[in-house]
Amino acid sequence: MDRYSMVISPISDEDGGGYMARFPDLPGCMSDGETPDAAARNALDAFAVWMEVQIGRKVAIPAPESAHAGFRAWLDGVVEERDRLAHELEAAQARIRELERTAAQEWSARSHATGDDDRLYA
């Protein structure tokens, strides 16, 4: 039996969040879900419908790629996830720097307003 690779990748929060599951060998055969498992289950339903439609239209169904191609598709998903997480990390670090600056400015303004200096009291 032929096996088609399924690639599951996160959907950005800006695009609604959740996960997308797709079959790289089957153009347009994809689905999504709130979790990776839900996306995979939905994609299996989409796979069945996709095959049924192609057979009904008497369209040739592409054979699955080699295991190497499946690994490559998986690796592409990993790289995409790494890039997404790196972007989120950069945004979080920028927010931390912003909060640190704000806290330092507020501390300085309050210290000057009360006549206290920046010493810590025991």
- pLDDT value at residue 11: 95
For 1-33, the pLDDT digits (tens) are: 468 889 999 999 999 999 999 998 899 999 999
Would you state the structure tokens that stand for residue 47, as one six-digit string?
A: 């796979």
Structural domains of the chain, ranges and CATH numbers in brackets: 7-114 (3.30.160)
For 49-82, the pLDDT digits (tens) are: 999 999 999 999 988 875 566 677 778 888 999 9
Q: Which residues pair with 31 in a beta bridge?
A: 21
Distance CA 88, CA 55 (A): 43
Burial class (CB in 10 A: 0-12, 13-18, 19+), 18: middle
- pLDDT value at residue 21: 96
In 34-98, DSSP assigns E strands to none
CA distances from 59 to 26, 54, 66, 112 (A): 12, 5, 22, 77
